[in-house]
Amino acid sequence: MDLDYGPEYDIFRQEVRAFIKEHRHLAPPPGDRAARPSAEAIEWQNLLIAHGYTARTIPCEYGGYGAEPDILESRIVAEEFSRARMPGGLANQGISMLVPTLLELGSEEQKRRWIEPTLKGDVVWCQGYSEPGAGSDLANLKTSARVENGEFVINGQKIWTSTARQADMIFCLVRTEPDAPKHGGISYLIFSMDTPGIEVRPLKTMTGHAEFNETFFTDVRVPVDQIVGQRGQGWLVANATLGHERGMLGDPDALENRMQALIALMQDERTGEGRAIDNPVLRDRLVALQAEVAAMKYNGMRVLSDSLKGEPGGMAKLIVKLQSCELAHQISALAIDAMGEMGILYHHSPRERDGGAWQWNYMFQLGLIIGGGTAQIQKNIIAERGLDMPREPKPARIAAAGQQTTAPAHQAQGAN
Amino acid sequence: MDFGLSQDQQMLRDAVAHCLRDTCPLDHVRWCAEQENPASDRVLEALNVLGVGGMLVPEEHGGLGMTLLDATVVAEQLGFAVAPVPFLASQVLAPIALREAGSKEQKARWLPKIARGEVRVGVAISETVETRDGSGVSSAAGKLTGTALFCLDFKGADAYIVADAKGRLHLVDAEASGLTTISLTTIDRTRSVGELRFDGAEAEPLADDGGVATSRLRDAGRVILAADSLGAGETMIQKAVAYAGQREQFGRLIGSFQAVKHMCAEMAARHEPCRSLVWFAAHTFDAMPNEASLVACQAKSHTAEVHRFVARTSTEVHGGMGFTDLLGLHYFFKRIGFDRQVLGGPETVRAEAAVLQGWTKAA
């Protein structure tokens, strides 16, 4: 057990701290996370890229900083920005998901054309994966793209397309080979959101905001070369990106920051007799959550160490999305309970706390438990890949069994 | 940077696991659990060949001078095998007490014998966590009076280390006049606890350090109990997964039903981060003593909660068989139950963690 990053990393950490001290007046306000970055946010992004504090390992020819991959350096940057409560680099779907995918599977021309403007905040992307009939069973997607005169002609509907209204471009899964098996008939296309035939409708959620959209395609024409990978390989390409999304949803610093905010809230929030934290039941819940956050923090350090040694993360890594999202939700739940009746204030009400952020988080985090691979899908993955448990029988086998015997088999089919 | 076990620690883990597979199968545990004193000489001797007995005894006193993190590696394996051996008090807490608060003479007298496996030492510090039934020990003029409950590694002890009401530690010979010992029977028949009644019993104080050593014992004890529970929980998860992978109902393996599969996934998802927390707590004890009490509280309370869930869920996955004596699953269930209550249940320990952070005053 050695928690020191080592002397060479101490120097790097000092550099990051010095940078933050010198430039913090240039940082956009922490809440500035609009889908379309402000001029100030773009300037900040460019400054961070120039110093290698974001896009650190992306090659220079594609607009990155070009450093050798070094997990600890990236970790130190994240730690120091989080500690200073400074916004790090932009973290939209284009940067977090499309850029890694292009780096891995894009053509040279696609890399040169799209990565740099995406990193610099000039091109904003949205993701066209889920459909009303293809959620957990994503490969069941039906949006079609037939080829006509050197163009894909796209028809269908996507859902959960966050930032679709602000986006310039979309990376989108469509069915190009209707006769191929489910997973083998999908292609990964990239095209402009200004293409005729695209209609975006805001999707209002339980939070009262429209964080997502529904996107409709009617005879949308896209040149056939705007594909990443080959026709029919879209499922493989998409899986590369979904891995990146799961990484994005399990950020250990985010949990610790929420925990610190909860502790501060419970010390500030007063009832007649004292502070919320003086209530022994609430305090007990706080300490219990704090221990759980600590466990996830050290679990994250263990995963980090394993990847430094080139070892697979194993179970410690498989559980991160499930546990982190649940824990984030529990933190918000306790905050609301600690506020008592004040906890229900929302929609810019007088006396509302923290701009209604706790209620918004409480609801939105439930969305995160469902999105990016539902909790139930995560449990399937943990059980089947982590514990090597038997898979669900294929529906065909269940149907066959159902013909031979009567009812029992269908009892087993849960949601997935 | 390396968060995890060193190569030496991994070798230690594997050696202890191998040793316990050979010497401590469940049948042997069953046999020990029926005896007057469950301590298995056979398992103890095999572990002592590996140096476990003296692992926390400093090298100058004939031990290996290892760390609490090393001891948690062993404790997890002992929990994994529900091994009936006096480890917690005799081989962890007693050496720590002596090495941190013993006089030169006390160290020289006891530590080499502990390292050689020639003496067993019980430890009674429960009253420094909470008192029940009017328990508590006072000391005056080298004599102890009162009652200490839940003395750990009680049976067969040659001496006891006892905390008085002021938190000072004392060494008491098992044969001291004025000492009456009463065995307590618990759910967990793989370990022995007892009650020490003092009526002016002769005792030899350890250093008057304002309770520092006692607090160190609490921290270490909680981390080791958490590690034990981690091991017992690991077995319960493995057994549940194995059972679900062979038991068929409705024409299919029950492990292919999501209702069952998800129970196993939830156990694993909650259990795995506990391991990192326990390692970190042990490392904090070894390297950052000022922070050790808080992290020990976190590790103790959190693993207790998670493993109560694991213990009941694994039993449920086994269906009716889990409830029987046949599979022996209950030894692990009860071991986890013991680990949860001893040296402070989760609520007690969390209250302490709140005090340590200045969120409230001590009750």
Residue A406 pLDDT exceeds 50: no
Tokens standing for A118?
């995406």
What is the CA B60 to chain-centroid distance, rounded?
Answer: 26
Is the per-residue pLDDT at A403 higher than 70?
no
The answer for A 145-184 residues in CB contact with B (under 8 A) is none
What local confidence, expressed as pLDDT, does residue B163 receive? Answer: 98
The reported pLDDT for the residue numbered A250 is 52
Domain shared by B351 and B216, yes or no: yes
Mean per-residue pLDDT of chain A? 90
The C-alpha atoms of residue A338 and residue B190 are separated, in whole angstroms, by 43
Residue B297's pLDDT is what?
98
A242: closest CA among A360, A377, A133, A361?
A377
**Tokens found for residue B134:** 């009017």
Q: Please give the Cα distance from A237 to A106 (Å, whole number).
A: 9
pLDDT higher at A79 or A338 = A338
Q: Is B259 on the interface with A (CB under 8 A)?
A: yes
Nearest CA in chain A to B286: A1
CA of B208 to nearest chain A CA: how many angstroms apart? Answer: 32
- Chain-chain contact of A292 with B302 (C-beta, under 8 angstroms): yes
- Chain A contact for B6 (CB, 8 A cutoff): yes
Q: Report the range of poorest mean pLDDT among A212-221, A250-259, A317-326, B3-12.
A: A250-259
Q: Looking at the complex, report in whole angstroms how far the Cα of residue A226 sits from the nearest Cα belonging to chain B.
A: 40
The answer to whether A291 contacts B301, with C-beta atoms less than 8 Å apart, is yes
CATH at B32: 1.10.540.10
Residue B363 counted as domain residue: no
B300 shares its domain with B335: yes
Element (H, E) at B267: helix B258-287
Residue A412's pLDDT is what?
Answer: 31
Q: How far apart are CA B284 and CA B288, in angstroms?
A: 5
Restricting to B residues 53-72, those with a Cβ less than 8 Å away from any Cβ of A are 69
Query: What pLDDT does residue A273 have?
Result: 77
Give the number of A-B residue pairs with CB atoms closer than 8 Å. 181
Residue B233 shares a structural domain with residue B345: yes
User: Do B217 and B352 lie in a common domain?
Assistant: yes
Residues A146 and A207 placed together within one structural domain of the fold: yes
pLDDT band, residue A113 (cuts 50/70/90)? very high
Residue B91 falls inside a structural domain: no
**CB pair distance less than 8 Å for B252 and A386:** no
Residues in chain B: 363
- Phi/psi-derived region of residue B288, left when phi > 0, alpha when psi is between -120 and 50, beta in every other case: beta
Q: Distance (Å, rounded) from C-alpha A414 to C-alpha B261?
A: 11
Q: How far is B260 from chain A (nearest CA, A)?
A: 10
- According to the 3-state scheme, what is the secondary structure of B150-184? EEECCCCCCEEEEECCCCCEEEEECCCCCEEEEEE
Task: Provide the CATH number for the domain around residue B291.
Answer: 1.20.140.10
**Residue A415 resides in a domain:** no
A152: left (phi over 0), alpha (psi -120 to 50) or beta: beta
Lowest mean pLDDT among A300-314, A378-392, B124-138, B291-305: A300-314
Using only C-alpha atoms, chain A has a radius of gyration, in whole angstroms, of 23
Assess if residue B59 is contained within a domain: yes
Q: Which two tokens stand for residue A277?
A: 């934290």
Q: Rounded to an integer, what distance in angstroms lies between the CA atom of residue B128 and that of residue B172? A: 17
Chain B residue nearest residue A284, CA to CA:
B350
- Note whether B354 contacts A: Cβ–Cβ < 8 A: yes
- Same domain as B306, residue B175: no
What pLDDT is attached to residue A395? 66
Q: Cα–Cα–Cα angle for B167, B170, B173, nearest 5°? A: 150
Name which of B203, B155, B153 is nearest B176 in CA terms. B203
Distance CA B260, CA A380 (A): 11
Question: Within chain B, which residues score under 70 in pLDDT?
Answer: none
Write out the H or E segment, with its range, that includes residue B196. strand B193-202
Q: How far is B297 from chain A (nearest CA, A)?
A: 9
Claim to verify: residue B153 and residue B197 sit in the same structural domain:
yes
Which residue in B11, B331, B301, B43 sits closest to A294, CA to CA?
B301
Reading the block at residue A98, the tokens are 């499309």
Q: What is the pTM of this model?
A: 0.93
Residue-level pLDDT at A239 = 86
Kindly report which listed range (A14-18, A20-24, A403-407) carries the lowest average pLDDT score: A403-407
For residue A120, is pLDDT > 80? yes
Note the pLDDT of residue A413.
30
Q: Which residues of A touch B241 (CB under 8 A)?
A: 387-389
Report residue A396's pLDDT band, with 50, 70 and 90 as the boundaries. low
Check CB contact of A371 with chain B, cutoff 8 Å: no
Task: Please report whether residue A95 resides in a domain.
Answer: no
Is residue A407 scored above 50 in pLDDT? no
In a domain, B329, yes or no: yes
> Is residue A22 one of the residues assigned to a domain?
yes
Q: Same domain, yes or no, for A278 and A330?
A: yes
CATH number at residue A201: 2.40.110.10
Q: What percentage of chain A reaches a pLDDT higher than 70?
A: 91
* B359 reaches A (C-beta below 8 A): yes
Count up the domains in chain B and report the number. Answer: 3
Domain co-membership, A254 together with A348: yes
Q: Are residues B192 and B227 located together in one domain of the fold?
A: no
Confirm whether B94 is domain-assigned.
no
> What is the identity of the amino acid at A309?
K
| Band of residue A253 on the pLDDT scale cut at 50, 70, 90 | confident
Judge whether A239 lies within some domain.
no
Q: Which residue has the tokens 């080791």?
A: B224
CATH no. for residue B195?
2.40.110.10
Among chain B residues, CA nearest to A263: B359
Rounded mean pLDDT of A62-91? Answer: 90
Report the number of distinct structural domains present in chain A.
3
Query: At residue A361, what is the residue type?
Result: N
**Where residue A308 falls among pLDDT bands split at 50, 70, 90?**
confident
Size of chain A, expressed as the number of residues it contains: 416
Report the distance separating Cα B74 and Cα A273, nearest Å. 48
Q: Which two tokens stand for residue B65?
A: 């001078």
Q: Report if residue B25 sits inside a domain.
A: yes
Residue A315 sits in a domain of what CATH number?
1.20.140.10
Asked if the structure places residue A209 within a domain, the reply is: yes
- Strands A198-203 and A144-148, bridge-based pairing: unpaired
Write out chain A residues lying below 8 Å of B244, CB-based.
Answer: 389-390
DSSP string over A326-354: HHHHHHHHHHHHHHGGGGG--TT-TT-SG
A211 classed as catalytic: no
CA separation for the pair B297, B343 (Å, rounded)? 10
- Asked if residue A222 belongs to a domain, the reply is yes
- Which of A303-312, A336-345, B187-196 bottoms out in mean pLDDT, i.e. has the lowest? A303-312
Residue ending a domain, among A90, A117, A137, is A90
pLDDT given at position A215? 98
Residues B232 and B350 placed together within one structural domain of the fold: yes
Nearest CA in chain B to A392: B256
B310 CB near a chain A CB, below 8 Å? no
Tell if the CB–CB gap between B280 and A298 is shorter than 8 Å.
yes
Residue B198 is assigned to a structural domain of this protein: yes
- Look at residue A414 and tell me whether its pLDDT is greater than 60: no
Same domain, B144 and B68: no
- Chain-centroid distance of CA A287 in Å reads 28
The domain of A295 spans: 250-373
Pair (A363, A271) in one structural domain: yes
| Separation of alpha carbons A319 and A342, rounded Å | 34
Q: A296 and B273: CB-CB below 8 Å?
A: yes
* B155, B39 contact by CB (below 8 A): yes
Let me know if residue B184 belongs to a domain.
yes
Query: Residue A245: inside a domain, yes or no?
Result: no
Same domain (yes/no): B150, B110: no
A268 and A346 co-located in one domain:
yes
Please report whether residue A117 resides in a domain. Answer: no
Closest CA to A58 of A21, A12, A90: A90
Q: Which of A177, A211, A214, A245 is catalytic?
A: A245
Pair (A254, A226) in one structural domain: no
Q: Check whether residue A213 and residue A327 sit in a common domain.
A: no
Burial of residue B207, with CB atoms counted within 10 A of its CB: 0-12 exposed, 13-18 middle, 19 or more buried: middle
| Residue A405 pLDDT class (50, 70, 90 cuts) | very low
Question: Same domain for B218 and B308?
Answer: yes
Domain range holding B247? Answer: 212-356
Neighboring chain B residues of A292 at a CB cutoff of 8 Å: 273, 302
Are the beta carbons of A299 and B6 separated by less than 8 Å? no
Tell me how close the Cα of A361 comes to any Cα of chain B, in angstroms: 23
Assess whether B350 and B216 both reside in one domain: yes
A256 and A216 within one domain? no
Q: Give A188 to chain B, closest Cα distance, Å.
A: 31
